[in-house]
Amino acid sequence: MVRSNVVEVRVVAAYKLTLKAARFTHWGELLPLEGVRIPVRDAIYFSLIKECYTPCEVVISANVPVRLIAPKKHLGYVFVEWSDGERSNDRVITMNRNIELEARYAPG
């Protein structure tokens, strides 16, 4: 019997997704909004990667499409946009770099 001491190591590229939430005041200021539930799902198989409550960070393998759904309403505030200008609360992003997104809300 021949035994091998060779260990195979595979390095998988991964990126960090940072999710935050903020609210606009009546005066136009942007203030942090904590505890907004934004589930992070695999966009192909729809499996849950992580149940995020803002602020939240999750490390995801490179080139994985991820579906984010910010709630349309949260504690009297309504969803307005993501920090990159996207206005749909339901979106898919591909993890090809570190990404930081903020869900922005206005008084409802």
Whether 93 shows a pLDDT value over 90: the answer reads yes
Residue 4 located in a structural domain = no
CB 96 within 8 A of CB 63: yes
Residue 10 located in a structural domain = no
Q: How confident is the model at residue 1 (pLDDT cuts 50, 70, 90)?
A: low
Residue 72 located in a structural domain = yes
Q: What is the mean pLDDT of residues 51-74?
A: 96
Residue 58 located in a structural domain = yes
Q: What is the mean pLDDT of residues 58-66?
A: 95
Q: Which domain range does residue 80 map to?
A: 17-107
Whether 9 shows a pLDDT value over 90: the answer reads no
What's the number of domains the chain is made of?
A: 1
pTM of the prediction? Answer: 0.86
H/E element, 86 = none
CATH of the domain at 31: 2.60.40.10
Residue 33 located in a structural domain = yes
Among 7, 18, 68, 20, smallest CA distance to 43 is for 68
* More confident: 66 or 12: 66
Predicted confidence at residue 76, as pLDDT, reads: 93
Whether 17 shows a pLDDT value over 90: the answer reads yes
| 28 DSSP 8-state letter | S
Q: CA-based angle 27:54:58, to the nearest 5?
A: 140
Q: What is the mean pLDDT of residues 30-50?
A: 94
Residue 9 located in a structural domain = no
